[in-house]
Structure 1
Amino acid sequence: MKVNTAAIPIVNTLTADSKARLVNDVESNKPLPIADVYHKENDQQPPSTYRRPVIVGKAQTLIEEPEQTSARLNEAYSQLYFNGDMFKAADKLADQYNQFMHELASDAPQLAEKDWGFSVNESGAIAVSGQLSEDEVSYLEEKLNANKTLVQFANEVKDSFLKFTELERGPSKNATSQYWGKYDVNEKNFSDLVDMRSLMEEQKSFEQSNYSIGENLNLFGFIDNMGAQLSAKAQATYAE
C-alpha cells in the first residue's frame, strides 16, 4: 500500500465520510491521494526526502537512492500510521485487555477503577505504573504477566513501534524524522513513555463501526493517543 505522508499528522481531523473512504482505501490497498484525506492550506507537499537521496559527509556519500527512500518511508508510514503490524497487534491486545478488566472488575472492583497504567519493560515483562501501593502493583503485574497471550501482543506492539520508527529515521547516523521517528524511544525507556492501558482505552464505539478498522480499537483514536503520549513525554532528539 502506498501511503501519502501528508495525510499522517491530520488523520484525526477527517470527517466521518472521509474516514470511511480512508478505511476503504486502506483495506483495499489503494494509494491514498492527498486530496482525499488532507485539506490544510500550505501543507500539500510530501516531505523533501521523496525528492532527494539520503547523503552524508563532505564527500556527499550516497546512502540511499530516492526510490529506496520512498520505499522505506512508505513501509514505515503504512506500518505505523495505518493498519500495520503494530495496530493489528494492539487490536488483539485490546481483546486480552478487555477480558482481563472484566475479571478484575469482578475480583477487585476498586482496583479496576483506579488510575494505573502498564507497559513493556526492557526484559519484555509487563510493568505497572500509577498511584498504587506495592501490593497493588505486585497483584496487577502477577495477573497481567500470567496471561502469556497478552504479554505476547504487548511485546509485538513495542517491537513494531521500535522497528518502524527506526526505519522511518533511515540509515544515516544523523537520521531525522518529522513524525514519531523523531522521538528518542528505545528498549530501555519505552515503558516510561508509552502507557499501553491508555492506548487500550481507545475502543471503537457503535457510531464508529462504519469506518473503524479492527475488532476492538478505533485506529484514529489509537494514533492520536500514541502521538499525544510521545509529544508529552518523549524527547524529539531526531527532529528535522
Structure 2
Amino acid sequence: MKINSGVGALINARNTAIDKTLQNTSQSPEKITEQDQQIILKNSTPINSEAEALRGKSDNGKLVTLIYTRSGRLDLPKRYEEHRELLERVINSASKLYLHDTPAAADRMAEQYESILASLREEIPQLDHLSWGFSIDTSGKLIATGHLNQTQKEIVEEALNSNEKLVNAAQDFKYHFLEGLQIERGSVGTSQYWGKYDVNEENFADIIDFKEMFEQSWSSAEQIESYGYLINKWEWTANIADQLQARAEPKFAK
C-alpha cells in the first residue's frame, strides 16, 4: 500500500493535538516519551553493530529528527531519500498502531466501560462468574461473545450499544487498527510485526476481544496519575500481540 502524500500532515497534526491534550491533563511529557520509546523498541528490529556503526558514521554520531513539510511529506536528508517508502511506512504505522491513534481509541473506550460494567453487574449479578467478551462486527455494532445465554447476551449488547461514546471509540479503534496494519505491510505486502496477521473487516470480531484488552491492560492508580491513561500502553501492546498470536493467521509474515 503506497502512503498518500497527505497522510503525513494529517497524522502529524492529529498527534500534535493528542500530545497537547495529554499535557493539559498534567502528564509528564518525559514519562510519556519514555514509555512510548519502550513500545517502539518492543516492536522494532534490533540494530546490529554494523548498522549502528554506519549510522554513527553517516550522521556524525547524532540522531536525525524527521519532520513533515507543509505538503505532507517527510523532510528527509538526501541520503535517506531512497528509503522514503520504508521510513514513512514505519513512522506512520507506529503512530497509528502502537503509539497514538489505536491506543488513544482504546483509552476512550475504557472511559466508558467501567460505568457500563457496573450497571451490567446490577442486571446480571452472576456476570463476573461468566466467561464472556465483546467486540465489534462489520456493521459497527458492539456484539457480546462467549458463554452468555440469549437473555444475557441481549442485555449486554443493549447496554454496550446504548453508549454512543463507547461505540464511536470502538469504531475508531477498528478503523485505525486495520489501516495501521495495511500501512505497516506497505507495498511489499509483508511485515514482521502486527501487520503479518490477517485481520480484516470480516474476522475482526473473532480475533480482538475488547473485554480481555481492558482486563489485561488496566493501569494502576499510580500509572493513571503519572501518565493520564486508563490503559497501560505497555500492557495493552502485549495483550493485543497475545490476542493476534492466539487467534489470527500470520498470512503476511516475511
SS at 1:156's partner residue?
Answer: helix
Amino acid at match of 1:23: I
CA positional deviation for 1:77: 1.2
Alignment of structure 1 residues 56-75 onto 2, 5 Å:
65-75=82-92
Contact 1:22 1:37 in 2 (8 A): no
Query: For 2:187, which of 166, 171, 183 is the aligned residue?
Result: 171
Stretch of structure 1 that moved more, 155-164 or 66-75: 66-75
Alignment correspondent of 1:125: 141
1:36-115 to 2 correspondence within 5 Å?
43-45=46-48, 65-82=82-99, 84-115=100-131
Aligned to 1:223: 237
1:132-147 equivalences under 5 Å are: 132-147=148-163
Aligned length: 195
After superposition, the CA RMSD in angstroms is 3.0
- The alpha-carbon distance between structure 1 residues 150 and 209, as it changes in their structure 2 partners (threshold 3 A), is closer
CA contact (8 A) 2:120 2:159 kept: no
Query: 1:45 Cα deviation (Å)?
Result: 4.2
Shift of 1:44: 2.5
Structure 1 gaps, min length 5: 2-19, 52-63
Query: Is the Cα–Cα contact under 8 Å of residues 116 and 128 in structure 1 kept in the other structure?
Result: yes
Q: Deviations over 1:190-232 (max 9, x none)?
A: 0000001111222101343476x44311111111000000001
**Aligned residues of 1:176 and 1:239 also touching (Cα < 8 A):** yes
TM-score, normalised to structure 1, is 0.72
Whole-angstrom distance in 1 between the partners of 2:46 and 2:150 = 49
**Structure 2 gap ranges (5+):** 1-7, 9-28, 56-80
Residue 151 of structure 1: CA displacement?
Answer: 0.7
How high is the sequence identity, in percent, across the aligned residues? Answer: 35
Q: Check 1:214–1:75 CA distance in 2 against 1; reply closer, same or farther (3 A cut).
A: farther
Per-residue CA deviation, residues 100-122 of structure 1 (Å, 9 max, x unaligned), is 01112233221244221000101
Cα distance change of structure 1 residues 22 and 45 upon mapping to structure 2, 3 Å threshold: farther
Amino acid at match of 1:78: S
TM-score (norm 2): 0.68
**Cα distance 1:239–1:208, how it changes in 2: closer, same or farther (>3 A)?**
same
Read off the aligned partner of 1:43 and give its amino acid letter: P
